[in-house]
Amino acid sequence: MEEKPRLARLTAILTQLQSKRILTAKELAQRHQVSTRTIYRDIRTLEQSGIPIITEDGKGYSLMEGFNLPPVMFTEDEAHALITAEQLVLKNKDQSFSQQYQSAIAKIKSTFRHNQKDKTELLSQRIYFRQNIENHKTSEYLMTLQSAITNSKLIDLNYLSLENKRSKRTVEPFALYSTQDNWLLIAVCRLRNDFRAFRLDQIQELQLRNETFEPQKITLQEYFEICRERTSKGI
């Protein structure tokens, strides 16, 4: 992983200090893949910028209680629900999804009060999901595909079927769904001129085009109904 530009790292450190009760220089150094000496300099820079960082000898760094308290507040149950969801997402097999959720949840945690941070930190250590025990990551395209769906962007796929057949497809992404720990893309394949489902873990290469397409008028529920009707007719 490449080292972040210093400004981006400083911003991330501030967010992380807001998202956790206390952080050590070692934890921050490992997270940003820099030396602890670099973290010491970053902390001094933040302090010189007026950020009220408290150094607790032998423990680490924290922010002064009440600093930059955001207007959005979470109840304890809401905070616990978010932490539970975080542990579930970390088991997801798509690398991009896990990374982006961790970034998002860190920003959300920064809105928690100090006592909430202690409780959510404890809860995160006491929740365990047995699926994907080895924490395998088999795809990294979920976030790109979500953007393609919302922006109606065409996609070029280099795809390897479960029968080990390779093909190149240009598709109009329509929807995503998860089943049995795997993500699938539902898309209109321009080669077949019809809907097809593609497993994300079988996509060998993906290229997002600048070219847009006219979105399908049907809903996802209507698509499932069409599939059920075709299945019942043996099509």
Q: How does pLDDT run across 128-140, given as a tens digit for each residue?
A: 888 888 888 999 9
Tell me the percentage of the chain whose pLDDT exceeds 70: 95
Over its C-alpha atoms, the chain yields an Rg (Å, rounded) of 22
Q: Per-residue pLDDT for 4 more than 70?
A: no
CATH 2.30.30 domain extents, the chain: 142-232
Rounded Cα distance, 43 and 61, in Å: 9
Give the separation between CA 28 and CA 35, rounded to whole angstroms: 9
pLDDT at 75: 78
The phi-psi region of residue 164 (left if phi > 0; otherwise alpha if psi is between -120 and 50; otherwise beta) is left
163 to 57, 167, 192, 202: CA distances (angstroms) = 59, 11, 18, 11
d(CA 139, CA 10): 30
Distance CA 19, CA 11 (A): 12
Cα 114 to Cα 117: distance, rounded to the nearest angstrom: 5
Burial classification of residue 94, based on how many CB atoms lie within 10 Å of its CB (0-12 exposed, 13-18 middle, 19 or more buried):
buried
Determine the pLDDT at residue 140.
Answer: 93
pLDDT digits (tens, 9 = 90+) for 184-204: 999 999 999 999 999 999 999
Structure tokens at 178: 């998860």
Interval 120-173: pLDDT, tens: 888 888 988 888 888 889 999 999 999 999 999 999 999 999 999 999 999 999
Distance CA 108, CA 86 (A): 11
More confident site: 65 or 174: 174
197/224 Cα distance (integer angstroms): 12
Instruction: Give mean pLDDT, residues 17-36.
Output: 89
Q: 48-94, pLDDT tens digit by residue?
A: 888 899 998 888 999 888 776 455 567 788 888 989 999 989 899 99
The residues of the chain that CATH labels 1.10.10.10 are 1-68
For the chain, what is the mean pLDDT? 88
Please tell me the class of the 142-232 domain. mainly beta
- pLDDT range class, residue 2, cuts 50, 70, 90: very low
User: What percent of the chain stands above pLDDT 90?
Assistant: 55
In angstroms, the CA 27 to CA 85 distance is 23
CATH class of 1-68: mainly alpha
Per-residue pLDDT reduced to its tens digit, 62-74? 988 877 645 556 7
Identify the pLDDT of residue 51: 87
